[in-house]
Structure 1
């Protein structure tokens, strides 16, 4: 069953779209605190890809990654499934980092709705292979939306 995460973001749908669909925008909010996102490819069309590297940069995150034998940088890839400028964006994330599981795709769809004082962002998140990994994914997606809201509030 698809999970839904919603946030009110105090920016226009046009601004949210720009932050979500350009390398410059994505690099400003996508990563959790203490990490940096570098977009290496962005082909914004159905079937196009978003490729990026997320790198631990803050001392605490670097130490955590090193202590747990994890790489400081990881590459990720998403394939766009749906693009309706300013209103809808869908992408399949390549899930290739779960030990003991063959790679598979996970679908996320975003809706942008004009709202009083900004935009209502609705994210539909397809679950992963089990509840533990699904909850990790949902926490990450919620963090992304919180980062986005914080960025536009600070602008």
Structure 2
């Protein structure tokens, strides 16, 4: 069976080094990672293949709080990612443990991020992620990741 993928691309007016720092440091991640209506707090970060990123995501927006409560989920969830590839300023890959969904066995899905310098000094970012277990969660994943990429653009001024 072939795993379906979600792909999101953005170009930012910032050098790959800046984008990399925002993607791989606690302060950087907390500045943009959370989708709209959520906050993120990095609990642990070990940036190396086999290392982990653990963060707590908390719903703060009314629509997000309503969704979490309606789905029987806590307002705060801790997320665990394991880095599978780290190539500074160029590429990053990690698996995410989806262990927070009621009545669904925990599973991992892969996200890959490519950073490519542009001719004008910016960075083109391509994020590719495996789909989730059903259409609704895949739609939410895609919307959340697109929102994250838009948030990153706000931080770097695009």
TM-score by length of 2: 0.88
| Residue 138 of structure 1: aligned partner | 142
Q: 1:64 aligns with which of 41, 66, 69?
A: 66
CA deviation string 1:39-94 (max 9, x = no partner): 00000000100000112345x36853685354221111100010000000001000
Unaligned runs of 5+ in 2: none
Q: Tell me by how many angstroms 1:2 deviates.
A: 2.0
TM alignment of 1:3-152, pairs within 5 A: 3-58=6-61, 60=62, 64=66, 68=70, 69-115=72-118, 116-152=120-156
In 2: Cα distance, 1:27 partner to 1:106 partner = 22
Gap change, CA 1:139 and 1:33, over 3 Å in 2? closer
Matched residue count: 153
Unaligned runs of 5+ in 1: none
**Secondary structure, counterpart of 1:136 in structure 2:** helix
In 1: Cα distance, 2:93 partner to 2:20 partner = 12
TM-score by length of 1: 0.89
In 2: Cα distance, 1:139 partner to 1:110 partner = 17
Query: Is the contact made by 2:112 and 2:129 (CA closer than 8 Å) also made in structure 1?
Result: yes
In 2: Cα distance, 1:147 partner to 1:27 partner = 11
